[in-house]
Homo-oligomer: A and B are copies of this chain.
Amino acid sequence: MRKLAMLGGGFIGRFYTDSIQGYRNKDKVVSIYARREETATQFAKDYNVKHWTTDMEEAIAHPEVEVVCVALPNNLHEQAVLLCCKHKKAVICTKPLARNAAEAKRMLEAVEKAGIFAGYLEDLVYTPKHIKAHESVMNGALGRILWAKSRETHPGPHSNWFWDMEQAGGGCMLDLGCHCVEIARSYIGKDIRPVEVMCWADTQVKPIDAEDHGIALVKYENGAIGQFEVSWTFRGGMDLRDEVMGTEGTIWINSFLRTGFEMFTTGKGADYVAEKAESNTGWLFPVGDEMNELGYNHMFMDMFDAIEEGREAKETFYDGYVVNCILDACYKSAKTKQWEPVQL
């Protein structure tokens, strides 16, 4: 049984806790940190958490806490991780690892120096579909991988801090592209070096500084191409699709909008449908079990198993760092309008 501190009582902090404490698991959040007292106390009540605090270090240092889960806005990930290093607590950090590669690198070096377990919570390579598809790819069912595309688009984020470049570090490319980059990389092979990227990004709709739409190609050393398409301006829900092309086969995955569950309703009685659904009448496409479909369950299973078995998780801070390096190159390319090298 793992005992956790949850840092952040927002959208993902609650989602994570549902997954961690769900499924009769042995694991338990024992301390919750949030900036505002009412968020912390509400969370503590909802999830039956013994200890709450508005002081981040207190949560981390709490003697019962073995593992710290970072579910804070992007600009606070580094600070949280450094405190875990100081207190020698295992840390698992939400995506993106950092706002940029330099920050990610400092975090990576810190956890290595501190010798603590450091897992990167990239849930979308833990979805049941991804796990099985990845297995097929590894078994050679698709032959040599030529191209892997991941697309994540929705109508826009739910919290204001996403729009503030200082806190968020970027727009939809950082927010959603980090998922896509790692998905493509996992199909192409995590041992294959990403070499250079070409990226377009624009602010087409939203009244913000950051990009609300971005597309990039990531070239790997073996000639394979990773592609992402991300946007905060998509209409119709959350579009989450992957495609892989190999010399011997093809994989198409739809993780959210077309999963074999279709509902029409004139509108009576239908409440929450799914993350980012835009309406609650007409044809709707709910997801059976979001936590499982989105990979949270298998992700935490791997994290806690890894801690107990003394091994690395499938997704580590190094992976998060590589993702940040690729995204940095994308941001640069979007400006220089040229292919930009990935600097690892």
Contacts and interface: CB of A to CB of B under 8 A. Distances in A.
Most B CB atoms within 10 A — which of A27, A127, A213, A285? Answer: A213
B286 A283 contact: no
Contacts of A293: 128, 288
A305 to B, nearest CB: 7
Contact count band on A: 35 or more
Nearest to A205: B247
A253 interface: yes
A132 B288 contact: yes
Most B CB atoms within 10 A — which of A140, A236, A286? Answer: A236
Given A236-B264, A247-B233, A289 B255 contact: no
Given A128-B288, A337-B339, A265 B248 contact: yes
B265 A233 contact: no
A271 to B, nearest CB: 6
Given A270-B136, A304-B24, A258 B261 contact: no
30 contacts: A23-B301, A24-B26, A24-B301, A128-B288, A128-B289, A128-B293, A129-B289, A131-B288, A132-B288, A139-B271, A141-B263, A146-B204, A146-B205, A198-B198, A200-B225, A204-B223, A234-B245, A248-B267, A248-B268, A252-B261, A253-B262, A254-B260, A255-B260, A259-B260, A260-B260, A266-B278, A279-B282, A282-B283, A288-B293, A337-B339
